[in-house]
Structures are given as C-alpha cells and as structure tokens.
Structure 1
C-alpha cells in the first residue's frame, strides 16, 4: 500500500466530485444517507448501550456511503444493499469493522467524558439528545468551554477514522494500523484537506443562505411554517449526503490501489476521474 501526496488544489476537486456524483443519483444517495441516520437513531433507543451502538455504526455507515458514491459514479443505481456492505465481506473484515466501530465509540465517548469535566456533562447530554438546548444553556460559560474542547478533541479523532473504513474494507488493513495510516495520510496531505474543508464550509454557507432566502420568501407569501421547515430539513439532508458522497474521492487519491502495487503513481489532479467499484479495490488514474 502506497501513500499518495496530492497538491492542495485536489481538495477542491474532491468537493466538486462529491457534488457531481451526488447529482447522478440524488434521490438514491439522499435516501441511503437518511436510512443510515435513521438506523443510528433507532439504535440509540436500545436501553443503556443504545448511544454506544449508534456511534459504533458510524464507520460502517461511512463505508456504505463511499460504496454508494462509487456505484453512482460508475452509472449504477446504489441499492439499499450497500448499507450492509461492511457486514458481508467475510468474517475477518466483519470482525475488523466491528472493532473499528467499537474504537470509534470509545474515542467519542472519551471526548464527551473529558468535556463533562468542565460542565458536569451538560454539553454531552445536549449533544447525545438527552437534554434540550435552551438559550440559557447555550450562553453558559462552562457549556461553551465544553463545546469548544469537544470540537478540538474531535478533529484528531475524525482524522484517525477518516480513511480507516476504506483501508479495512478495500486493503484488508487491521483496525489499529488503519487508524495510523489514516491520520498519516491526512497529515501528509494537509493542504488538500484544508482546501477540502474550506470548500465544504463554503458550500454549506451558500446553501444556508439560499435556504434562508427561500424560507423568507415563503413566509412573506404566507406559506411559511411547515413548508419552510420541510425545505430546511430536506436541504440539510441533501448537503450532508453530498459531503459523505465526496469521502470516497479523498480515499481514492490518497492510497495506491492494492491490485496494482507496482503501478506508477497516477496523476491525482484530474477531477473527472471516476470512483472505484465497490466490489473491487479503489482504482486510481483516469479510465
């Protein structure tokens, strides 16, 4: 497995590719994203261990969206079967994905635990859905400190798990090694990921402004309320699905396909390159 170092401008290509792939199968990808979120929400209802189970499902959900994006880019319709891709690729891969999920849940709950040392667990309860966010709570200094600490600690956790599902699934890398390779790849391609993050911030900002404008126009026309709320929820769901659709392109450009270990490193600055097939290792280089 060879790590690729890509130029910073590749980050914006990842954003564009994610948006483009989403619009090839918008209804299917939005529905699949909703189904993954709904599955995690249902898991939280399990007494005592529900939130931990939901967190443990996130790496598998990320992999499912990567596979669905690959299907859409190849012109195929991503079916709900991709939601189970992490659980039907052999016992070893299944075991590794379960370990990866457990590590993610432990890491995230650890971040929440550290934030609880500041505000007594108020932020953790709000974030995990156990309490409502009121103006008084949001303005509390301890709550804000816990929130910022959680954000700072979550960034390295996110980078640890960014590529890990793909490394386990396509490269057969053990979970702990996958975490190490993931954060190294993100660090070595810091410029590209910085541009990628800024690009998505811009997309969400513009999308939020557009949603606010439409909602205001509906309110002026007397069609606000439920209509505006439905548009906001639908648009937020769609933009989140687009973001998760783009993850597969960051993975593809950071690692050499395992099927071609001796192949010369391909160019990674071609934004029109298709994503990998879900049932084969990710392919790099233009087709």
Structure 2
C-alpha cells in the first residue's frame, strides 16, 4: 500500500477540487452528503443501541459518499442508491472499523473523566447540558484539551480506513494503520487543509453574513439557510479529493450493476 507524500500547497487545492466535483452533479452529491448525515442522526436517536449502530454504519455510508464522488469524477451514471454501495464492499472490515473507532472514541472520553469527573463524557453520550461555571472551570478545559489531543490519532486512523477497506479490500487493522501512516506522512498538507476548511466553512461565510446583516438582518438569515446545502457537499467531495491525491484509485473501485 503506497501513500504519496504531498507538498503543503496540495491541502489548499483539495477544497477547490471538491467544488469542481460538486459542480458536475450538485443534486446527487447533495443527496448523498445529507442522506449520510440524516441517516446517522435518525439511527443515533434510537434508545440504547442507536449510537452504537450509527458508529457501525458510519464507515459503510461514508464509503457510499466516496463512491458517489468517484462516479461523478469519472463521469459514470449513478443514482441515489450509490449511497448504500458500501454494503457490497468488504462489509465485515467496514463494520470492524466502525467498532474500533467507537471503542477508541469512548476510551478517549473515559480518560477525560480523570480531569473533569465525567462531565464531558456525560455531555457527549447523553446530551446533557453544561452550566456556565462548569464550562469555564479548569477541569473541563483540561478535559477538552485531552479530548482534542487523544482523539486526533483516532481520527487519523479512521480518515482513510473505509476507503482502503472498500476499494483495496484491506482488513480493518491494516486499513486503519495505513490511514494513520498516510495522515502522519502528510501532516503539512492536512494542516493547510484544516486552515482552508476553517476559512471556507466558517470565517468567510461569517464575514459575508455579517456584512449582509448590517444592511438587512432578514436577508442574512435567509442566506444562512441554504449555505450548508452548498458547503457540506463540497467538503465531502474534498475528502474524496485528498484520498485520490494520496492513494490514487484502484481502477473502477465500484461499478453499479
């Protein structure tokens, strides 16, 4: 398994390439992106087992979004059902990836309990509210720092894992190892990519809406509603762009019958 080492500037290019993919078929990519999010949200609200099932489905559905991006990129015909194509590609490995990612995330949250007595764990698992004095406490701040620090390698191991398992048929441990290695080897372009995401997804829209809001608060509110319909699919397509850039593609990774 070869992971290219890319220059920093490629990180800024991934969002632009995601925009190009979105422009070729905005309807399909928007459906896949929001279908992915909506299904995970609906499943996660199921009592007791919802969050576990959502974690197991996440790699499968994310591979479906990547398959959607590849189909658009290659000019192949694809319908909405491509979102569920991950169920046909190395399903046991994808489920295992979801299970390992869930276990890693829970372990990180358990370790934060050493700093704040379990406040962050309670908020993340049961949706409890945080009082203002708790949110500004030293313990809670330390818990957030621990969560960010320890969850970063977990996210690195997950980032490319569904794609590597689905397209290259790697086992879950190998897929997560090579995902972590690829992210570590390309930390410079990923740093640039993070900056681009912050600018594109938060800073620039915030400035734009702020300027419009000075003239017409109602217009700014109206503009803020469709903005996610544009931003989220482009960001999802940029995930495909960085995966394609670093690993290439194994021919037609998924062909619809």
Fold equivalence (TM over 0.5): yes
Q: What's the RMSD between the two structures over aligned residues?
A: 2.4
Which residues of 2 match residues 1-80 of structure 1 at below 5 A? Answer: 1-76=1-76, 78-80=78-80
- How many pairs are equivalent? 254
Unaligned runs of 5+ in 2: none
List structure 1 segments (4+ residues) > 6 angstroms apart after TM superposition. none
Change (3 A) 1:123 1:17: same
Where does residue 207 of structure 2 map in the other structure? 209
- Matched-pair contact (CA < 8 Å) for 1:40–1:54: yes
Instruction: Tell me whether 1:279 sits opposite 2:250 in the alignment.
Output: no
Contact 2:93 2:165 in 1 (8 A): yes
Deviations 1:47-106 (A, max 9, x none): 2121222223222232222112222223456532122111123xxx11111111111111
Alignment partner of 1:250 out of 236, 242, 245: 242
Contact 1:66/1:248 (<8 A) preserved: yes
Per-residue Cα deviation, 1:266-285 (whole angstroms, up to 9, x for no partner): xxxxxxxxxxx5516xxxxx
Shift of 1:236: 3.5
TM-score, scaled relative to structure 2: 0.87
CA separation of 1:249/1:147 partners in 2, compared to 1, >3 Å: closer, same or farther? same
Provide the rounded CA distance (Å) in 2 between the counterparts of 1:106 and 1:13.
33
Unaligned ranges ≥5, structure 1: 260-276, 281-287
Given the alignment of the two structures, is residue 175 of structure 1 paired with residue 175 of structure 2, yes or no?
Answer: no
Residue 30 (structure 1) shift: 2.4
Summarize the Cα distance change of 1:77–1:152 in structure 2 as closer, same or farther, 3 Å threshold.
Answer: farther
Residues 76-95 of structure 1 aligned to structure 2 (within 5 Å): 76=76, 78-89=78-89, 93-95=90-92
Once the two structures are TM-superposed, the CA of residue 195 in structure 1 deviates from its matched residue by: 1.7
Q: Which moved more, 1:185-194 or 1:96-105?
A: 185-194
Q: Which stretch shows the higher mean deviation, 111-120 or 136-145?
A: 136-145
Q: Are residues 211 and 72 of structure 1, via their aligned partners in 2, closer, same or farther at CA, if it must alter by over 3 Å?
A: farther
Task: Report which of the two has the higher share of helix.
Answer: 2
Measured in 2, the distance between the counterparts of 1:197 and 1:56 equals: 26
- Describe the shift of the 1:211–1:111 C-alpha distance in structure 2 as closer, same or farther (beyond 3 A): farther
Inter-CA distance 125–244: structure 2 relative to 1 (3 Å threshold): farther
Cα separation, 1, equivalents of 2:72 and 2:92: 28
What is the distance in 2 between the residues matched to 1:50 and 1:216? 43
